[in-house]
Amino acid sequence: MEGLVLGCDLCNDYCQISCWNPERGEPEAVELTQGSSMISTVICRRRGKEAWLVGEAGYRCALMGEGVIVDKLIRLAGKRGTATIEGVCYSAQKLLTQFLREILEISFQKYGVREIQAITFTLRNLDREVIDAVLEAAVSLGIDRDRVRLVSHTESFLYFSVSQRKDLWASLCGLFDLNEEGLHYYDMTVLRGIKPQAVQARHEPLEEGFRLDILDSPAGEKLGDTILCSCAQRLMEKKLYSSVFLTGKGFEGCEKWAVTFTKWLCSRRKVYMEPSLFAKGAALIAADGLREKTAYPYCFLCEGRIGATVSMEVSDRGTKKRLILAEAGSNWYETRSSVEVIPDNKGELELTVTPVGSAAGRKITLPLDEFPARPNKTTRIEIVTSFSSEKLMTVRVIDKGFGEFFPATGQMLRQEIHL
């Protein structure tokens, strides 16, 4: 084995890892604690020494008074926070890095391989601060940046779904995720009549979510069953589903307490329990990234992916062409472009924003009248694009001058475009 191909589901309450099995051609869950693929996202430092424990071992150490525990590591890292342990101030970045070091070590020991060929981290929400924190942690652990990807839970669900038999996602494919952070609903569908073929998923955090500790009593179990059944009926009534998946710690043993919910869900639907769904979806993405040709030739539309193509018309040696600045289906945090053009009798730039499935695009005009006045074809400008989310693109237009005749001023125009 050249190196491990991993998918890592990072949440505030728990973490999971799946590893791509090349012989079976599918991902498998890694047992991170005895009998479970889930490990609590907590880290504990033993008192008086620089020794670290994670998950349930960390909880036990803290309960015995032998260590100090820090939880909610993802949220803390996103805020660039700190935690003080026995008078020592640790950055959230250091704690997250140490946590990842500990859980990756479990995978190394299981497979007897210490090299990572590719790893995809999946997060509930793709916040720029959290993305940067996870990337920094991975690089600090010696993982090459080009071997690391980050995706949303929604994208992991999409990849997991399209990796299944086609009859399981020919119509709607649904997913409920119940965990300490709440109840979440996802669904995916194929957008037909579009080339290239597109698959789309949406994510809806449900206000009816509840804390898992209410399930500790019979009355709480009944309430949880009622809430789940009500949500399922509201979201799924009169819709045709090819399959429905259940994931998250909250659904462990749900067949014993969520009787009404599971009975209604299983009526005329294929229902599957998949505790490691997001981690397995991430591992599928990591494995697919190593192929010369993707196994999933679709335009993916979901959280983390751009939903429209941004382009402009240019002339290259007298031939008109459409120059793509950002392509629909691309990951927003990885999408950047830089191109230099020379305006020809134009005092403005015109960009076209074309949503997937739309024949006509929306025109965006960027005036250039603030740049120095020069003869025609003697101004070279650089157009730089970047994204701060899948729906917000920033365009910077920079005056590059024209050699010695018209020195560059470096003057810059900046405009944000909502896709």
Q: Where in the chain are all domains bearing CATH 3.30.420.40?
A: 4-152
Residue type, 205: P
* C-alpha span between 88 and 98 (Å, rounded): 15
Q: Where in the chain are all domains bearing CATH 2.60.34?
A: 308-418
CATH classification for the domain delimited by 156-276, as one of 3.10.450, 1.10.3470, 1.10.3720, 3.30.420: 3.30.420
Q: What is the CA radius of gyration of the chain?
A: 25
What is the pTM for the complete model shown?
Answer: 0.91
* C-alpha span between 162 and 299 (Å, rounded): 12
CATH classification for the domain delimited by 4-152, as one of 3.40.50.460, 3.30.360.10, 3.30.420.40, 1.20.1600.10: 3.30.420.40
Please answer whether residues 199 and 172 qualify as being in contact, where contact means their C-beta atoms are separated by less than 8 angstroms. Answer: no
Of these ranges, 186-200, 273-287, 311-325, the one predicted with the greatest mean pLDDT is 273-287
Assign domain 308-418 to its CATH architecture: Sandwich (2.60)
pLDDT at 364: 93
The conformational region for residue 318 under phi > 0 = left, psi -120 to 50 = alpha, else beta, is left
pLDDT at 415: 93
3-state secondary structure of 87: coil
- Burial grade of 145 (CB within 10 A; 0-12, 13-18, 19 or more): exposed
* C-alpha span between 320 and 195 (Å, rounded): 23
**Among 250, 280, 110, which residue's Cα sits nearest to residue 177?**
250
Residues 338-376 pLDDT 10s: 999 998 888 889 999 999 888 788 999 999 888 888 888
Residues 239-289 pLDDT 10s: 999 999 999 999 998 999 999 999 999 988 999 999 999 999 999 999 999
